[in-house]
A = this chain, B = another copy of it.
Amino acid sequence: MPDTLPADSVGLVQAETLHFDQPLALDCGQQLNQYEIVYETYGTLNEDRSNAILIEHALSGDHHAAGYHSMEDRKPGWWDNFIGPGKPIDTNYFFVVSSNNLGGCKGSTGPTAINPETGKAYGPDFPIITVRDWVNSQKLLADMLGIDVWCAVIGGSLGGMQVMQWAIDYPDRLKHAIIIAAAPKLSAQNIAFNEVARQAIMSDPDFHEGRFYEHDTIPRRGLMLARMLGHITYLSDDAMREKFGRELREGKLNYGFNVEFQVESYLRYQGKSFVDRFDANTYLLMTKALDYFDPAGEHNHDLAATLKHCTCRFLIVSFTGDWRFSPGRSREIVNALLKSHKQVSYSEVVATLGHDAFLVPTPAYHDVMKHYLLRVAGKL
């Protein structure tokens, strides 16, 4: 609870909501007749509207990427380390837009929103959303905001996949694509982890086939398990060793099934606190968007051909300790870009943390982002 906000913070911010009345056709064949997108902005749009950056969030992220909602906030937005005056995504130069994805649970239309056709929450009737659907909706958001060309679109993990889709589907609408800790598609193992998470949620008796709002309950156990499992994949084995080792919470074995090792305590805490801030139907949708992402699938599985019409420059970043989307997965993107003669920079950052490294300003990563974006801003 800071008395004053840090000098390099974007300060107090407030979400905006845009209402869309034109139907949005979705990959699944359904359409959303009307929907809302909630977003935040940081910095100032310049006169020729050429300094706008779009931030893409990952699975459990949202539009609140930087700054504080009130002086009482304990924590700033999820990427506050990267967005602000003097930070890599420097609000002295850039106008930053960060939106909540459709299907989300933080303000944009999703399963918890009221379906105008029934007067009840969508719940499981909310259509399956794809990365392409998100990018289409964000393109309409850009139109509404009067941003013809993003000077950069930036995202990590599932956010990086959205960046890639932007570069493929709207090549004239962005100048730079920064794709961090991502992959051109999920591996079978990635899908397998998502499937266990989904089964955990869907097999919870409190799930009620997704209509748990009507039963005034939450599939608490399932969502907790899904989140615990997620956290294992966000950290490397090394990072877990450094963070927890085999430390016992009470200094001795208790020969029972209560928490014994610190890592158990950490996971249970992460799982429990997630349940109160995230919607289970949204979690299911996000995992499906991950599973389905495979832009090369429509191009005979030729990623270079898929990227052929891209015109932006690329920065690809990966982290050595990431086993969810390992550097090898980023190199698949880099190699495909090189093969189709695109301008690409690649940085493989030594970071033991794991997948979560994309959220953390380790010096090498921070500097790569800062210098790339200073060039984008014409300041280098």
Contact = CB atoms under 8 A, between A and B. Distances in A.
Interface in A246-265: 246, 253, 255-257, 260-264
Contacts of A224: 199, 203
Given A246-B185, A246-B186, A294-B246, A191 B225 contact: no
A291 B257 contact: no
A237 to B, nearest CB: 4
A198 interface: yes
Interface string A228-255: 1101100101001101111000000101
A193 interface: yes
A128 interface: yes
A296 to B, nearest CB: 11
Contacts of A292: 253
A29 interface: yes
Contacts of A246: 185-186, 188, 191, 294
B237 A187 contact: yes
Contacts of A263: 188, 191-192, 195
A201 to B, nearest CB: 10
A203 B225 contact: yes
Contact of A267 (B27, B187, B195): B195
**What is the total number of copies of this protein in its complex?**
2
A270 to B, nearest CB: 11
B203 A221 contact: yes
Nearest to A287: B257
Contact of A264 (B29, B187, B191, B284): B191
A116 interface: no
A205 interface: yes
A306 to B, nearest CB: 15
Interface string A161-190: 000000000000000000000000111110
A303 interface: no
A317 interface: no
A199 B268 contact: yes
A187 B241 contact: yes
B200 A200 contact: yes
A338 B192 CA distance: 39
A257 B222 CA distance: 15
A77 interface: no
Contacts of A260: 291
B195 A264 contact: yes
A257 B288 CA distance: 8
Given A246-B294, A255-B127, A292-B253, A261 B191 contact: yes
Contacts of A256: 128
A315 interface: no
A202 interface: yes
A114 interface: no
A126 B193 CA distance: 32
7 contacts: A188-B244, A192-B240, A195-B261, A195-B268, A199-B225, A199-B228, A203-B224
Nearest 6 A/B pairs, CB to CB: A188-B240, A28-B255, A203-B221, A128-B255, A189-B237, A188-B244
